[in-house]
A and B are shown apart, each in its own frame.
Chain A
Amino acid sequence: MKRYIIQSLRLTVVLMVLLCVIYPLAIAFAGKFTPGAGSGEKVIKNGKVVGYALIGQSFTKPEYFWGRPSAVGYNAAGSGGSNKGPSNADYLKEVSARADTLLKYHPYLKKSDIPADLVTASGSGLDPDISEQGAIIQIKRVAKYRGLTDRAVAELVVKNTEGPLWGMFGPSKVNVLKLNVALDELKK
């Protein structure tokens, strides 16, 4: 028994060096050669960091495309979903209210035009994307508040829509931050 304890202790220390020091340092080294150099890929506008490409941020102003509702207010230091169950009455009221808000700002829409991703909270609270449909329905509003033509904004949406992986797998999506940065740069 005592022999097993000593072997266990020694093996634990040896494996810690291999698994907790050598392994992560090797990965950190490899990470230096990635696009964000291992610290996360940043989005830059006019030389200033305005966010991370992968981390969604809150957009509430009418001249921007809006992202998905977030249960944690896009707090990138404390991710979280709503964890509301599908039969929760309070939750369903909230969803309904979000749809009404969208209709208020987009009077040209019918309720059935609204895609579910714009009225439901994402799992991480940091979803950087919205669906293609979610971007399309906002085009007219954004164009109006920015004094742009619908077509110019629509073109930007198309440009910022990312199709399925290798054209075959998974959904299409629009990165809200990148789209909004492109909008701001269009203005100049």
Chain B
Amino acid sequence: MNTELLGIIFTYAITLLIGIPLGIYLAKMFAGEKVWTDFLKPIEKGIYKLSGINPDESMNWKQHMKALLTINMVWLVYGFFALMFQDKLPLNPDGNAGQSADLAFNSVISFVVNCNLQHYSGESGATYFTQHFVFMFLQFVSAATGIAAAVVLFKAFRDKTTTNLGNFWVFFVRSITRLLLPLSVVMAIVLAFNGTTTSYEGKDQFISLQGDTVHVSRGPAAGFVAIKHLGTNGGGWFGVNSTHPIENPNYLTNMVEAISQVIIPIAMIFAFGYFIRRKKMAWVIFGIMTLGMMLLLVPTIISETGGSPAIAKMGISQLTGAMEGKEVRFGPTASAYWSTITTIISTGSVNAMHDSTMPLTGMYQLIAMMMNCFYGGCGVGILNYFIFIIIAVFISGLMVGRTPEFLGHKVEAREVKIASIIALLHPFIILVGTALAAYTITYFPGADWVVKPSSWLNNPGFHGFSEMLYENTSAAANNGSGFEGLGDNNTFWNVLTGFVLILGRFLPIIGPVAIAGLLASKKYIPESAGTLKTDTLTFGFMTFVVIVIIAALAFFPALTLGPLAEYFTLIK
């Protein structure tokens, strides 16, 4: 077997070896049972005290959402101004300028919502201050927000009937102190010892071997790269993200970064099952999500290692696969693996340029983000999947003629309405956003803007359409990767995706938590022979079918216009 394939199999195996036990640990930790990290309790107590938080206060689902939205709003306002005036703040050794209002609007939203779309480039668009106090800070807290929201949902199904769903601040702080921060420290040190820079020195200059003068951007990137993956954020220290040799120096760091972005999403599935004492359910959800991932991963690897048909026609040898936009130290197989995990999980970091991947690979990346629930982002993955569970419960209930129930609670019109709205919101914002962009570019190509719409696209034809579709999909899924050829740092894209980002984040968090809160407050109906069992494989497949049908019906026409059309012109 070739070493590139062996590399990704090993990577995935280690991911499971860490992710599953981590989930069991999280279940115990969030339930307040004894765990080995309890020695950190004094630090947490200090944090609560300094913040005026009473950790024993219990909240219902509405209070949870109020707390969540309030603190997120604080970050939005603070981050916006910090980015605009970063040139006047300290820690700016490279003398970079402040961000324009529309860019700051987009940047701060995209980091608050755990997306990290990045219409700026780290080398020139941010300072060491904003990299730390805005971007890295938000990478920690946005991931913790998602995890805390998921724990609220877990809590709703642990007890039979309850409105007491724990304390939001406690879930939030513990996500950082007991999970994200300790793992980040370990990972940052591994990266540092493999060559990722850690010092605060600014740009360096040297004369190359051939005599050219070269400037090198550097900076304390290791800690940033660690949390960007663990928190499924994906925003890079440098413009090209984990393709950059300092952010991702070798094959070992590539494995570490690929593993670290998947472990928490996988852990959250098992945390759910163990927390609500239904282990079988965790395994079924995990199985279905893994099936979804494999169905995207295998064809992606085939598509990338097969190489570019156009370059093959020239007679050039593509020994290991397509190389445009890829790095030699990773190779096409590891880049194919990365492209799948970074899109099913809403990381959005890249170790190769997605714009230059093969047409079908691009389609699989799009589908992964359109479904957005195979493992999914930190906390929000399981929330997205939960929406589909509710719809599947409803449809199966109708099919067998029984009142739909989930874990002993009747699922009624109100819950199904919320679930349907959330499920349809995703295709709605993606397609409307893309339509708006396509309309603008067609009818106003020469509009007198800083960047004319006619010069948005880096590639003509079908691929150009894919660039716009990808940008909107990535924003709605809070993914953050891009077909980076798109000229996206201008008012139109900054504002459009800014709104897509906000809609794609908060409603899909509030919706599932609301459903869970409503269900938990209903009377508990003990399981009987007539109960629809939701932890069976049959029900798992039912959920899978719901996901596929919704995505296929909503997105097939758009995919036909973009990647599919390009594929068929390329192989003809």
* A residues neighboring B (CB under 8 Å): 1, 4-12, 14-16, 18-20, 23-24, 26-28, 30-31, 34-42, 45, 48-61, 64, 68, 74-89, 91-92, 95-96, 99, 111-117, 119-131, 133-134, 164-165, 168-171, 173, 177, 180-181, 184
Q: Are B51 and A88 in contact (CB under 8 A)?
A: no
- Max count, chain B CB within 10 A of own CB: residue among A76, A114, A123: A123
Q: Are B245 and A55 in contact (CB under 8 A)?
A: yes
CA distance A173 to B460 in the complex (A): 34
CA distance A122 to B212 in the complex (A): 20
Q: Chain B residue with minimal CB distance to A26?
A: B185
Knowing A11-B53, A86-B308, A95-B311 are in contact, say whether A169-B240 is a contact too (CB < 8 A).
Answer: no
CA distance A164 to B250 in the complex (A): 10
Q: Could you show 29 A-B contacts with beta carbons less than 8 Å apart? A: A4-B66, A7-B67, A12-B71, A14-B47, A19-B137, A27-B223, A38-B198, A39-B218, A42-B206, A50-B206, A54-B195, A54-B245, A58-B210, A64-B209, A64-B210, A77-B215, A83-B459, A86-B356, A86-B463, A87-B459, A92-B314, A95-B314, A120-B322, A122-B243, A123-B350, A164-B7, A170-B3, A170-B329, A170-B334
Q: Are B199 and A28 in contact (CB under 8 A)?
A: yes
CA distance A27 to B307 in the complex (A): 40
Q: Are B70 and A123 in contact (CB under 8 A)?
A: no
Q: Are A169 and B255 in contact (CB under 8 A)?
A: yes
CA distance A134 to B334 in the complex (A): 19
CA distance A16 to B74 in the complex (A): 13
Q: Are A49 and B206 in contact (CB under 8 A)?
A: yes
Neighbour of A36 across the interface among B71, B195, B209, CB < 8 A: B195
Residues of A within 8 A of B327 (CB): 122-124, 127, 129
Neighbour of A54 across the interface among B246, B255, B324, CB < 8 A: B246
* Tally of chain B residues near chain A (CB < 8 A): 119
Q: Chain B residue with minimal CB distance to A90?
A: B460
Neighbour of A31 across the interface among B136, B137, B198, B458, CB < 8 A: B198
Residues of B within 8 A of A54 (CB): 195, 245-246, 249
Neighbour of A173 across the interface among B73, B124, B215, B329, CB < 8 A: B329
Residues of A within 8 A of B220 (CB): 24, 27-28, 31, 38
CA distance A36 to B218 in the complex (A): 12
Residues of A within 8 A of B216 (CB): 40, 52, 55, 76-77
The answer to whether the Cβ of B483 comes within 8 Å of any Cβ in the partner chain is yes
Knowing A10-B52, A30-B198, A168-B6 are in contact, say whether A5-B74 is a contact too (CB < 8 A).
Answer: yes
Task: Tell me the minimal C-beta distance from A113 to chain B in angstroms.
Answer: 7
Neighbour of B355 across the interface among A4, A84, A129, CB < 8 A: A84
Interface 9-residue window, one of B148-156, B186-194, B280-288, B498-506: B186-194
Q: Are A165 and B51 in contact (CB under 8 A)?
A: no
Neighbour of A171 across the interface among B66, B255, B329, CB < 8 A: B329
Known: A79-B238, A87-B459. 14 other contacts (CB 8 A): A5-B70, A15-B141, A20-B136, A23-B223, A27-B188, A27-B223, A76-B217, A81-B353, A85-B356, A87-B359, A120-B311, A126-B245, A129-B329, A177-B209
Residues of A within 8 A of B358 (CB): 86
- Max count, chain B CB within 10 A of own CB: residue among A54, A74, A130, A168: A54
Residues of A within 8 A of B250 (CB): 165
Q: Are A85 and B66 in contact (CB under 8 A)?
A: no
